């Protein structure tokens, strides 16, 4: 893989950094890019994993130099990924390197989607002069037209938090979908790429998990700091808090809570009935409040609806903390319902594990994307 | 509720050794080390030794005035507790953040750069790959017999000057409830403060593929350092065979395989140490495939999570060198273990409370 045609050009509104990788023009646009950042490390951030998935040498020699310290971290980053997924291969990276200029941690940046993790990161670990990085083209394809689309609610929330938004628009998601790479695997590289281009002294990546379960994921408390350069320190923040802890902290300021956007379904409001909305609402109801949601979703029995969800899919990973919260709130009825949901979850896991043990190959062949958590050989043993 | 800490003392004997001792709930906790390396009495080693046990009991740590600690160290302990409080369910207990009450002192001011001399392979790998010149090789002689096998590095010229601390810290911490996998904190952080170090590198083994929560140990160790003492976990993320490959050229590089804990004369083949040795041997044989062909039947039976991690590392090694036969044998060994775990889980589900079934997830 040999990225070439690296360009940095002025647009009527901001700047555009682009590079051609295997015929695909990958671009990033923003009004907030730092003038003294070359951008080669951003290309490295997004292209390392695709190159590993294809088992090809990554030749960045056509690009400006990357910091030596980042180059030195690449074996460790590759080590993590190759251990997490047997389909990824260690590759050679060819690049010019430079010592890099160390800076102080001025001008910090926090990745910001307007959701619970990001809002909590700003409230609990933010700094007064930080900018909030919002990426148009991260979860969905970038908005059409020449200007990025910022959900009104995200803009209002940033204003409530008294922070400036730094918006980056990119077609990265189109590229990774074309390469059949999962978002869970690759999103860390995209975040650090945008962070490098903004040139902040520190990039904070809000955590979505706790120290209780460090599952392989594109962002990870031990992996993210390896992406640090002399100019930009990468910080993974928030693993010390559970989801319910974070919601409780946010709920202390009702004006901030009113603008939190947790819903993937609608860009400007919370539908109130999807899994993420119900998860947030259930915690808030147990804490004695609720989320601002669409009017027709206001009157449903949130706790009953979410308890049913808890027994399904990945929501079950929140079961323990919700059970604890329900007990703390003294809600015996919900505690009992959640315990029953726990029984169903345990049975579902048992059946799922049995299926994976009996037919590991058919399970693997169904996974079309290159993703994390393969462990190659079926279910993991329980922790002890 | 508190853990009662009383009667701290520092006594120097005629042989030039300092003995630092105190009573913890009536039980004597002691450290014995060369006098010239030992700073005055402070509270950091005591807090490091008892923190996890206190979290497990949910009891505050109240230190007498003779054991002051720095504010930075306290802040680090609180950060460490923020990480460890999530690990309780995996150790089958509650780990509750607690209060630490102590007189405040200036930060610890260390002088030496040290490395923890522990498990043979991890230490050798750390020393081989480190760019740092260590002037102290911290060697803990433990009164905990199950851990004694780890401190068996022979004296060799290439090792940094060894300084020994004899202590019962692991035995006391274990009796008070510290999970085995978290004894690193009691052992290394407390002795690093006692040995006047300004930096301690702790060789650690935790490959990326092992998702156990103690993967956060590097962060906990780092936060329990402070302005006067930097603690780093080194060798994290690398697999055992990568470490074996790095050190196999050294004299005695790979000879210190764990000894059998059942039989002094021969290997029983089933104890934990024998299984570890067997996995090491499998990895070594793969690495030396060209020199010595694989013997059949050398893939050991997986009995616990540590064995499972060993076996997964072996799969990656087998893939790395293209040995499909061994990869398959390791995979089927893993599959047998997974089935035994599945039946255990099913029994738990059928026989125990639903809470217990959830908690094991």
Structure tokens at A354: 């049995």
B246 and chain A in contact, CB less than 8 A = no
pLDDT at B256: 54
A240 and chain B in contact, CB less than 8 A = yes
Closest residue to B86, CB basis, from A82, A212, A215: A212
Pick the most confident of A218-227, B112-121, B309-318, B336-345.
Answer: A218-227
Q: How many angstroms separate the CA of residue A67 from the nearest CA in chain B?
A: 19
B226, B72 contact by CB (below 8 A): yes
d(C-alpha A129, C-alpha A292), whole Å: 28
d(C-alpha A377, C-alpha A109), whole Å: 39
A215 and chain B in contact, CB less than 8 A = yes
A212 and chain B in contact, CB less than 8 A = yes
pLDDT at B231: 94
pLDDT at A109: 95
List of chain A residues whose C-beta atoms are within 8 Å of the C-beta of residue B93: none
B269, B256 contact by CB (below 8 A): no
Dihedral sign (CA B346, B351, B352, B353): positive
pLDDT at B147: 44
Q: How many angstroms separate the CA of residue B238 from the nearest CA in chain A?
A: 7
- The ipTM assigned to this model is 0.84
The residues in B 41-80 lying below 8 A from A, measured between CB atoms, are 79
Cβ contacts of residue A75 below 8 Å, gap of 6+?
A90
Residue of B nearest to A352 (CA): B342
d(C-alpha B247, C-alpha A271), whole Å: 58
Residue of A nearest to B236 (CA): A76
Q: How many angstroms separate the CA of residue B289 from the nearest CA in chain A?
A: 21
pLDDT at B117: 85
d(C-alpha A292, C-alpha A281), whole Å: 9
Closest residue to A79, CB basis, from B216, B237, B337: B237
The residue ranking higher by pLDDT, B304 or A252, is: A252
d(C-alpha B21, C-alpha B41), whole Å: 10
**Contact check, Cβ <8 Å, B358/A323:** yes
Q: How many angstroms separate the CA of residue A371 from the nearest CA in chain B?
A: 14
pLDDT band at B151 (very low <50, low <70, confident <90, very high): very low
A59, A2 contact by CB (below 8 A): yes
Q: Is the pLDDT of residue B84 over 90?
A: yes
B35, B196 contact by CB (below 8 A): no
pLDDT at A362: 47
List of chain B residues whose C-beta atoms are within 8 Å of the C-beta of residue A350: 342, 345-346, 349
**Contact check, Cβ <8 Å, B211/A380:** yes
The residues in B 7-46 lying below 8 A from A, measured between CB atoms, are none
A353 and chain B in contact, CB less than 8 A = yes
pLDDT at A363: 44
pLDDT one digit per residue (tens) for chain A, 384 residues: 899 888 888 888 889 999 999 999 999 999 888 877 778 899 999 999 999 989 999 999 989 999 999 999 999 999 998 888 877 889 999 999 988 777 666 789 999 999 999 999 999 987 878 999 999 988 888 888 767 778 888 899 999 999 999 999 999 999 988 888 888 888 999 999 999 999 889 999 999 888 987 778 889 999 999 999 998 999 999 999 999 999 999 999 999 998 898 887 776 788 888 888 999 999 999 998 888 777 777 778 888 889 888 887 778 888 888 998 999 989 898 899 888 888 888 888 888 888 878 876 544 444 444 444 444 444 554 443
d(C-alpha A262, C-alpha A281), whole Å: 10
CA atoms within 13 A on the CB side of B198: 7
List of chain A residues whose C-beta atoms are within 8 Å of the C-beta of residue B358: 319-320, 323, 342, 345-346
**Contact check, Cβ <8 Å, B211/A215:** yes
d(C-alpha B326, C-alpha B286), whole Å: 9
Q: Is the pLDDT of residue B115 over 50?
A: yes
Q: Is the pLDDT of residue B149 over 70?
A: no
Interface test with A, best of B90, B179, B209, B242 (most A CBs within 10 A): B209
**Contact check, Cβ <8 Å, B361/A345:** yes
First to last CA, chain A: 42
A134, A168 contact by CB (below 8 A): yes
C-alpha distances in angstroms, B69 versus A230, B9, B43, B63, B168? 33, 16, 5, 9, 22
First to last CA, chain B: 31
pLDDT at A96: 92
d(C-alpha A15, C-alpha A9), whole Å: 6
List of chain B residues whose C-beta atoms are within 8 Å of the C-beta of residue A212: 86-87, 89-90, 213
pLDDT band at B274 (very low <50, low <70, confident <90, very high): confident
Closest residue to B209, CB basis, from A83, A342, A383: A83
**Contact check, Cβ <8 Å, A382/B86:** no
pLDDT at A117: 94
The residues in B 163-202 lying below 8 A from A, measured between CB atoms, are none
d(C-alpha B80, C-alpha B54), whole Å: 13
**Contact check, Cβ <8 Å, B239/A83:** yes
The residues in B 282-311 lying below 8 A from A, measured between CB atoms, are 304-305, 308
Residue B159: name the closest of B253, B280, B277 by CA.
B253
List of chain A residues whose C-beta atoms are within 8 Å of the C-beta of residue B212: 383
A375 and chain B in contact, CB less than 8 A = yes
d(C-alpha A351, C-alpha B266), whole Å: 43
List of chain A residues whose C-beta atoms are within 8 Å of the C-beta of residue B80: none
pLDDT at B281: 72
Mind giving me the DSSP string for A79-135? HHHHHH-TT-----EE--EE------S-S-EEE--SSHHHHHHHHHH--TT-EEEEE
B230, B199 contact by CB (below 8 A): yes
- A vs B: CB pairs below 8 A: 135
Cβ contacts of residue A96 below 8 Å, gap of 6+?
A60, A61, A63, A64, A65, A66
B164 - beta bridge partners?
A: B139
Residue of A nearest to B337 (CA): A381
Cβ contacts of residue B225 below 8 Å, gap of 6+?
B76, B189, B200, B231
Q: How many angstroms separate the CA of residue A323 from the nearest CA in chain B?
A: 10
**Contact check, Cβ <8 Å, B239/A210:** no
**Contact check, Cβ <8 Å, A214/B216:** yes
pLDDT band at B143 (very low <50, low <70, confident <90, very high): low
DSSP code at position B182: G
For A64, phi then psi, to 5°, come to -60, 165
d(C-alpha A15, C-alpha A36), whole Å: 13
List of chain B residues whose C-beta atoms are within 8 Å of the C-beta of residue A373: none
Q: How many angstroms separate the CA of residue A167 from the nearest CA in chain B?
A: 32
pLDDT at B262: 65
pLDDT at B168: 92
Closest residue to A342, CB basis, from B331, B334, B355: B355
Structure tokens at A355: 């299926």
Q: Strand, coil or helix: what is B339?
A: helix
B111 - beta bridge partners?
A: none
pLDDT at B252: 54
The residue ranking higher by pLDDT, B9 or A234, is: A234
pLDDT band at B259 (very low <50, low <70, confident <90, very high): low
pLDDT band at B314 (very low <50, low <70, confident <90, very high): confident
Beta strands in chain A (DSSP E): 4-11, 14-21, 24-30, 58-59, 66-67, 93-94, 97-98, 109-111, 131-136, 164-170, 202-206, 233-237
Q: Where are the alpha helices (DSSP H) in B185-323?
A: 190-194, 217-223, 240-247, 272-287, 305-321
List of chain A residues whose C-beta atoms are within 8 Å of the C-beta of residue B346: 350
Looking at residues B9-30, what average pLDDT do you find?
Answer: 88
Closest residue to B345, CB basis, from A79, A240, A382: A382
List the Cα angle A274/A279/A285 in 5-degree steps. 115
- Sequence-separated contacts (24+) of A86-89 with Cβ below 8 Å: A86/A374, A86/A376, A86/B315, A86/B316, A86/B319, A87/A53, A87/A370, A87/A374, A88/A49, A88/A52, A88/A53, A88/A370, A89/A52, A89/A55
Looking at residues B291-297, what average pLDDT do you find?
Answer: 48
Closest residue to A382, CB basis, from B83, B219, B360: B360
């Amino acid at each position: 893989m040999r990225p070439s045609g690296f360009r940095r050009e002025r647009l009527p509104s901001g700047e555009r950094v682009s590079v051609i990788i295997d015929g695909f023009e990958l671009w990033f646009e923003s009004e907030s890019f730092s003038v003294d950042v070359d951008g080669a490390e951003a290309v490295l951030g997004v292209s390392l994993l695709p190159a590993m998935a294809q088992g090809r040498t990554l030749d960045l020699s056509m690009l400006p130099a990357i910091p030596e310290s980042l180059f030195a971290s690449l074996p460790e980053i590759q080590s993590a990924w190759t251990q997490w997924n047997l389909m990824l291969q260690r590759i050679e990276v060819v690049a010019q390197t430079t010592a890099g200029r160390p800076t102080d941690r001025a001008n910090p940046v926090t990745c910001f989607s307007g959701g619970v993790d990001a809002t909590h990161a700003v409230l609990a670990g933010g700094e007064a002069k930080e900018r909030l990085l919002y990426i148009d083209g991260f979860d969905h394809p970038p908005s059409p037209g020449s200007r990025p689309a910022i959900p009104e609610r995200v803009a209002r929330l940033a204003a409530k938090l008294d922070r400036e938004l730094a918006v980056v628009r990119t077609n990265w998601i189109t590229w990774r979908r074309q390469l059949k790479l999962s978002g869970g695997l690759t999103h860390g590289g995209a975040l650090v790429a945008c962070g490098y281009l903004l040139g902040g002294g520190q990039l904070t990546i809000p955590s979505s998990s706790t120290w209780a379960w460090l599952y392989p994921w594109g962002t990870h408390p031990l992996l993210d700091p390896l992406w640090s350069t002399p100019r930009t320190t990468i910080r993974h923040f928030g693993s010390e808090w559970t989801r319910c802890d974070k919601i409780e902290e946010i709920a202390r300021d009702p004006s901030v809570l009113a603008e939190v956007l947790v819903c993937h379904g609608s860009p400007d409001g919370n539908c109130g009935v999807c899994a993420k909305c119900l998860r947030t609402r259930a915690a808030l109801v147990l804490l004695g409040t609720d989320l601002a949601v669409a009017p027709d979703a206001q009157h449903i029995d949130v706790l009953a609806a979410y308890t049913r969800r808890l027994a399904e899919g990945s929501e079950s990973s929140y079961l323990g903390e919700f059970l604890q919260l329900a007990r703390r709130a003294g809600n015996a009825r919900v505690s009992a319902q959640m315990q029953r949901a726990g029984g169903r979850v345990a049975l579902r896991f048992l059946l799922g594990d049995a299926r994976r043990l009996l037919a590991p190959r058919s399970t693997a062949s169904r996974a079309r994307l290159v993703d994390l958590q393969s462990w190659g050989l079926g279910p993991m043993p329980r922790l002890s | 509720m508190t853990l009662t800490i009383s009667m701290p003392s520092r006594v120097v004997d005629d042989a030039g050794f300092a003995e630092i001792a105190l009573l913890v709930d009536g039980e004597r906790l002691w450290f014995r080390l060369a006098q010239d390396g030992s700073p005055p009495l402070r509270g950091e080693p005591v807090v490091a030794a008892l923190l996890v046990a206190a979290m497990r009991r949910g009891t505050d740590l109240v230190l007498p005035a003779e054991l002051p600690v720095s504010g930075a160290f306290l802040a680090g302990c609180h950060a460490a507790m923020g990480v460890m409080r999530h690990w309780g369910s995996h150790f089958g207990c509650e780990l509750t953040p607690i209060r630490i009450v102590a007189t405040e002192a200036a930060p610890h001011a260390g002088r030496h750069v040290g490395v923890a001399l522990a498990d043979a392979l991890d230490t050798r790998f750390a020393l081989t790959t480190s760019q740092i010149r260590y002037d102290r090789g911290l060697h803990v002689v433990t009164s905990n017999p199950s851990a004694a096998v780890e401190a068996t590095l022979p004296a060799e010229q290439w090792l940094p000057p060894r300084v020994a601390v004899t202590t019962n810290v692991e035995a006391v911490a274990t009796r008070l409830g510290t999970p085995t996998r978290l004894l690193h904190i009691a052992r290394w952080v407390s002795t690093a403060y006692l040995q006047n170090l300004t930096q301690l590198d702790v060789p650690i083994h935790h490959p990326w593929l092992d998702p156990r929560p103690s993967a956060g140990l590097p962060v906990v160790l780092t936060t329990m350092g402070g302005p006067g003492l930097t603690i780093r976990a080194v060798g994290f993320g690398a697999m055992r065979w990568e470490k074996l490959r790095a050190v196999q050229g050294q004299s005695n590089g790979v000879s210190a395989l764990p000894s059998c804990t059942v039989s002094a004369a021969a290997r029983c083949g089933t104890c934990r140490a024998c299984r570890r040795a067997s996995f090491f041997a499998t990895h070594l044989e793969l690495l030396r495939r060209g020199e010595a062909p694989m013997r059949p039947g050398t893939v050991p039976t997986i009995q616990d999570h540590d064995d499972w991690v060993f076996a997964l590392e072996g799969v990656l090694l087998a893939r790395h060198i293209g040995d499909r036969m061994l990869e398959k044998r390791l995979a089927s060994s893993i599959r047998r273990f997974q089935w035994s775990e599945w039946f255990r889980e099913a029994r738990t589900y059928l026989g125990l409370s639903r809470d217990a079934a959830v908690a094991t997830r």
